[in-house]
Structure 1
Amino acid sequence: MTDAVSYPEPLAHPEKRGIELIESSERHGRARDLFPVWAAPNVSVLNFTVGATLILLGMELWQAFLVIIAGSLPWILTGIVATSGPAAGTSGSVITRAIYGIRGNRVVVAFFGWFISAVFLALNWLASSFMGAELLAQIGFTDPVLVPVLVTIIVAAITVLVAVFGHSLILRSYPVVASVLLAIFLLVTAFVLPHVQWGYTAPAPLEGLPLWSAMTIGFAILASSPLSYSNSPDLARYLPTSTKPSHIIAATALGGALPAIFFTSVGALLATGIDSAAMDLGIESALLALLPAWLGPIFVVGVIINTIALNGMTTYTASMAFQSIGVPIRRIPSAVVVGAIGTALTIYLVMSTSLLDAVNLMLQLLVLISGPTMTVFATDVILRRNRYSGDDLFDEQPGSRFWYSGGWHVPGLLAIGLGAAVASLFLTSSVWTGPIAAAMGFLDLSVPVSMVVTAGVYIALTRLAAKRRPTAIPSIEGAPA
């Protein structure tokens, strides 16, 4: 670990802190400060896209609204996981050493953590790239590849700067960002509502298994977003240890869920007023066509600001992953590396897919990773009663508290492995449909199955393991941890 860095860092200087423990004297803030931190990234054009998808799947409006609410419930897990940040005083990628073991955590963070980060960086940069290209096309810049690639590179560079300046910039600027985005998106909503068919009925109303298939697929797409935010401890770790966990859970969950529910519902309403031919051109084109000429550029700027807010947070937390797995790199150059990886993936997607297809497919496949990893994290927080020792988490020597069996914690690793494997049997997507999902009429139960299997396996195996090492492994009876 490096020397302690005083907080708050001046906004004129990048944050030097990486995964180092945060001392009590450096703690600050209130749980409610987290609300705008999570609201800013979730006032997003991707919500419009996902909401429109629910209608395209054949649902009625009331069915789509039910799915949107249900799909937002996993934000509670994001909030539960966030409470571990102040308890341990370090990043989530270090805290998970308690779940997977010192060596096992390196594998999980290197593979799962980087995959999730890269996918979300690409998805959000992709949205701003398509929207920016659509706007520039109206003033004569029509190259279908070069323009979105240039937009991606510019937005990515700004995003990396946000990650470099880090926690202080995020905490101070995101309340303003959230307010600006809310104003822009509410204004856009006002121009969308006149086009809504309030008496909309699906051209071919779904019933029985086809209806349940559409609703479960929609749920999987929606739930994948909150389930992916296992980085929530990183944004809460500067809070005082005395901060009430219930307040952290509420601020995190509501900050993410409320804007997501509202604007995803607007996206569903939007789809009722757009014909299939317009939708084939892309949701971003269809949406801009509904707006007056003066509002289109403002909306695109809002999309880009939202993209920077979300990806700035993602890049910031991902920049600490290298350190947590033992790579000798400081956080700032690590942020640059993360940005480069996400930019490369975005450019690939820009040249090969549409925004709607990319969002839906990648969010569904992401569930196989994010569902088990988020579930096991939340389960561990509950089993340990959120008691983590930062000093023990940084003890990487053989025989240390979280060394377990040769550096590997079998219960954690087996839980996510089985959770993902079994969930894949229940997944329905354009790339892969599990045999059980196909046999059940293409129901997508990947999210609930991954959560139930992962939590069940982890609880059962940790109960057995706690009898051998009660000082390191939690148990349902509340063994000290």
Structure 2
Amino acid sequence: MNIEKRTIEFIPEEERHGSVRNLFTIWFSANMQVTTLVTGALAIEFGLSIFWGLIAVIIGNLLGAIFMASHSVQGPKLGIPQMIQSRAQFGVVGAVIPLFVVILMYIGFFASSGVLGAQAISSAFSIPINWGIIFVSIIALVITLIGYDLIHKLEKYFAIIFAIVFIFVTIEAFQLKMPSHIWAPGHFSAGSFLLMVSIAATWQLTYAPYVADYSRYLPSNTPSSKTFGYTYAGTVIGTVWMMSLGVILTALIPKFLNNSSLGLAKLVGPQLAVIMYLVIVLGVFAVNVLNLYGAFMSITTTLEAFTKLKATTNVRFWLVFATAFIGAILAIWGNGNFLTNFENFILLLSYFMVPWTAINLIDYYLLRRGEYNVWDVFDVNGQYGKFNWVAIIAYLISFILEVPFVNTSMYVGPVSKALDGTDIAWIVGLAVPLVLYYFPMRKKINLSASNRGISNEQEFK
């Protein structure tokens, strides 16, 4: 199979290929893994019943995936990666601000997933977890170096394997001994419920900065409804399935989260334990390849803004290698206190990424309506400029306004305290840019169009 030659540049029409249906399998597979399961398990850690935990998981994912799949639509239309498209909102250099957060996000998820994959390898083959982390990182490195086509092909086969195995796991889960009251709603805590909704929605939103990377090779005439629909269905079905398993298994199996990989192996029995471990490792590969590929694209986008970097095969190798190395080191450092570190990490992401996703979607759907000069996102002297202070200021203020509403183990905002621990910061992060970005930016675009002698209707057509 040929190594991918393109990186952050525009994909010409003659190189477009693939089926839009592949978007279902790539996002289904990316979510059918143990990290997703552990995220769902947080509902029980927060004190929710199974009933309210499942409701929170479903609502959060249904809402968050709307934004995630809306980003996916941009891939075939523009033919460039998601974060380089963000230059049209923040400016060619200004986009480095959200890019920095995104790079940290990719590396953090790479490390956290690597720990869980290493636990499975350690349990199956009795090797130290640190060596398991190194093994997982090397395999992800190789797949990422080959690139886009191999990623899509592997995710397609993974989807079939995951569906078969986790149907069996789900059947086994429902055969566990259950107290008679287990499905009763029980006590409802608004704070814990909304916190879990926030985490589930955030799970989807954290895919937003790279979701279009995996649709950008599709033909430009691919219907937007199909791009949205296959992405949405794949990510929601995979995530709700695995998070729901996390809720149920954590509630029914004592100390399940101490080693979730071992817990899954025990559930399927000793004869199938090795298969379960292998499937867990494949799940880590499925998502960590995306994390590493996304980190490489984002780092390349960042460096290109300052150096006009050419992503040769040599450069590609060293950037991917350096990213995988850093992620592996973080995984080795953080595996002893994984659950606490991961909970803090995923909550932190929501506060930074939600305003970015709002600004990007407002710009794409409400202001420019999908019409961009792709070549200008590569030119610091083009129409998008070095910095767009409207977007940068809106982004920073939106984040600051989220702070009173946050609820994390490190800090609880005053509004969240007053609302009994309720965390609605992500809602604030989505709503504020509607005012701080949409209206000033519309005025700026109108003025620019007027100066160029273009009517408002032509500018927004």
Report the TM-score when normalising by structure 2: 0.91
Q: In structure 2, what is the equivalent of residue 35 of structure 1?
A: 24
- After superposition, residues 11-160 of structure 1 pair within 5 angstroms as 11=1, 13-72=2-61, 73-109=63-99, 111-137=100-126, 141=127, 147-160=128-141
Return the alpha-carbon distance in structure 1 between the equivalents of residues 117 and 299 of structure 2.
Answer: 27
Give the number of equivalent residue pairs. 448
Displaced runs of 4 or more, over 6 A: 475-478
**1:217 corresponds to which of 174, 195, 220:** 195
Residue 401 (1) aligns with residue 386 (2): no
Return the alpha-carbon distance in structure 2 between the equivalents of residues 472 and 459 of structure 1.
Answer: 20
- Conserved? CA contact 1:30–1:243, under 8 Å: no
Shift in Å at residue 189 of structure 1? 2.0
Match of 1:194, SS state, is: coil
**Structure 1 spans left out of the alignment, 5+ residues:** 1-10, 142-146
**Quick one: structure 1 residues 248 and 428, their matched pair in 2 at CA, closer, same or farther if it must change by over 3 Å?**
same
Return the alpha-carbon distance in structure 1 between the equivalents of residues 259 and 409 of structure 2.
Answer: 18
Q: In structure 1, what is the equivalent of residue 363 of structure 2?
A: 380
Return the alpha-carbon distance in structure 1 between the equivalents of residues 273 and 4 of structure 2.
Answer: 35
Deviations 1:367-398 (A, max 9, x none): 1122122222222221221122222222222x
Percent identity between matched residues is 22
Shift in Å at residue 215 of structure 1? 0.5
Q: In structure 2, what is the equivalent of residue 260 of structure 1?
A: 239
Return the alpha-carbon distance in structure 1 between the equivalents of residues 267 and 91 of structure 2.
Answer: 53
- Conserved? CA contact 2:446–2:456, under 8 Å: no
- After superposition, residues 316-355 of structure 1 pair within 5 angstroms as 316-325=293-302, 326=304, 327=307, 328=309, 330=311, 331-350=316-335, 352-354=336-338
Q: In structure 2, what is the equivalent of residue 8 of structure 1?
A: none
**Quick one: structure 1 residues 120 and 63, their matched pair in 2 at CA, closer, same or farther if it must change by over 3 Å?**
same
| Bigger mean CA deviation after superposition, 151-160 or 374-383 | 374-383
Residue 469 (1) aligns with residue 459 (2): no
Shift in Å at residue 201 of structure 1? 4.5
Return the alpha-carbon distance in structure 2 between the equivalents of residues 375 and 429 of structure 1.
Answer: 22
What amino acid is the match of 1:43?
M
**Structure 2 spans left out of the alignment, 5+ residues:** none
**1:193 corresponds to which of 174, 178, 186:** 174
Shift in Å at residue 34 of structure 1? 1.0
**1:415 corresponds to which of 369, 381, 394:** 394
Residue 313 (1) aligns with residue 306 (2): no
**Quick one: structure 1 residues 472 and 416, their matched pair in 2 at CA, closer, same or farther if it must change by over 3 Å?**
farther
- Conserved? CA contact 2:261–2:280, under 8 Å: no
Shift in Å at residue 40 of structure 1? 1.0
Return the alpha-carbon distance in structure 2 between the equivalents of residues 149 and 279 of structure 1.
Answer: 21
Match of 2:18, SS state, is: coil
Shift in Å at residue 50 of structure 1? 2.3
Match of 1:382, SS state, is: helix
Shift in Å at residue 477 of structure 1? 7.4
What amino acid is the match of 2:147?
G
Deviations 1:341-376 (A, max 9, x none): 2112111111x413x323322111111122122222
Match of 1:195, SS state, is: coil
Shift in Å at residue 152 of structure 1? 0.5
Q: In structure 2, what is the equivalent of residue 392 of structure 1?
A: 376
Shift in Å at residue 95 of structure 1? 0.6
Aligned-residue RMSD, C-alpha: 2.4
Q: Name the structure where helix makes up a greater proportion of residues.
A: 2
Shift in Å at residue 472 of structure 1? 11
Shift in Å at residue 131 of structure 1? 2.6
Match of 1:16, SS state, is: coil
Return the alpha-carbon distance in structure 2 between the equivalents of residues 281 and 322 of structure 1.
Answer: 34
Match of 1:468, SS state, is: helix
- Conserved? CA contact 1:197–1:272, under 8 Å: no
**Quick one: structure 1 residues 238 and 198, their matched pair in 2 at CA, closer, same or farther if it must change by over 3 Å?**
farther
Q: In structure 1, what is the equivalent of residue 272 of structure 2?
A: 295
Shift in Å at residue 478 of structure 1? 8.0
Q: In structure 1, what is the equivalent of residue 348 of structure 2?
A: 365
Return the alpha-carbon distance in structure 1 between the equivalents of residues 458 and 355 of structure 2.
Answer: 22
- Conserved? CA contact 2:38–2:257, under 8 Å: no
**Quick one: structure 1 residues 75 and 204, their matched pair in 2 at CA, closer, same or farther if it must change by over 3 Å?**
closer
**Quick one: structure 1 residues 434 and 182, their matched pair in 2 at CA, closer, same or farther if it must change by over 3 Å?**
same
**Quick one: structure 1 residues 177 and 287, their matched pair in 2 at CA, closer, same or farther if it must change by over 3 Å?**
closer
- Conserved? CA contact 1:40–1:178, under 8 Å: yes
